Amino acid sequence: MSDSSQRFAVSVHPDELHFNAGHFITFDGTCENLHGHNFHVRIEAEGDNNRDAFVIDFVQLTRIAAEICGQLHDKVLLPGNSSEVHLQQDGQQLHIASNGRKFSLPLENCEILPVDNTTAEMLAWYIMERLIPRLRSNSDLSHVDRLEVAVEEADRQWGICRRRLGIDT
């Protein structure tokens, strides 16, 4: 059954899609206090159903996304591309300086991300960047037109990254 006016989508946000992490953001020349969240992740895929009548396999999508979340769990998330946050490694210690604040943390507790700021939106982008190649190598994404990753930083406050597949991937 196919009707070109119909679109299909899947949405996953099971308990496995979460991570607890510390972070801070910079804005208006200031640096927030280092603090933590229990982040939750939701992923949506939209497109045409494949010959098996689904857009993408829920189980595989959840498994891969949970592995990515697991790499962020119990870490301090730091922006590796920020002009306002300066990172300097000294042996197994990481020194962080931003807008008059200084932190020193064990390197093993940190995850340096290729982002300008560790906002919920950029965490969603980072997860998307890791998710797409993993899905492409394990799934047929030819029926998926759009992918959305949302990261909930606080109760009902989501940062979202949306991407049309085939255009900018």
On whether residue 98 sits in a domain, the answer given is no
On whether residue 90 sits in a domain, the answer given is no
Cα Rg for the chain, rounded, in angstroms? 18
On whether residue 96 sits in a domain, the answer given is no
Specify the 3-state DSSP secondary structure of 49.
coil
On whether residue 108 sits in a domain, the answer given is no
On whether residue 105 sits in a domain, the answer given is no
On whether residue 112 sits in a domain, the answer given is no
Give how many domains the chain has, as a whole number. 1
On whether residue 129 sits in a domain, the answer given is yes
* DSSP letter string, 101-152: EEEEEEGGGEEEESSSS--HHHHHHHHHHHHHHHHHHHS--TTEEEEEEEEE
Cβ atoms 113, 3 nearer than 8 A: no
User: What does each of the 169 residues of the chain score in pLDDT, given as a tens digit?
Assistant: 456 678 899 999 989 999 999 999 999 999 999 999 999 999 999 998 888 888 898 899 999 999 999 999 999 999 999 999 999 999 999 999 999 999 999 999 999 999 999 999 999 999 999 999 999 887 778 889 999 999 999 888 999 999 998 654 4
- Packed helices 58-72 and 120-138: angle between N→C axes, nearest 10 degrees: 130
Q: Which residues form the domain of 54?
A: 8-74+118-164
Q: In this structure, what CATH number is given to the domain that contains residue 53?
A: 3.30.479.10
Please report which helix (H) or strand (E) contains residue 45, including its range. Answer: strand 35-47
Please report which helix (H) or strand (E) contains residue 96, including its range. Answer: strand 93-98
Q: Which residue has 């002009």 as its token pair?
A: 83
Tokens of residue 32, six digits: 């927030």
On whether residue 93 sits in a domain, the answer given is no
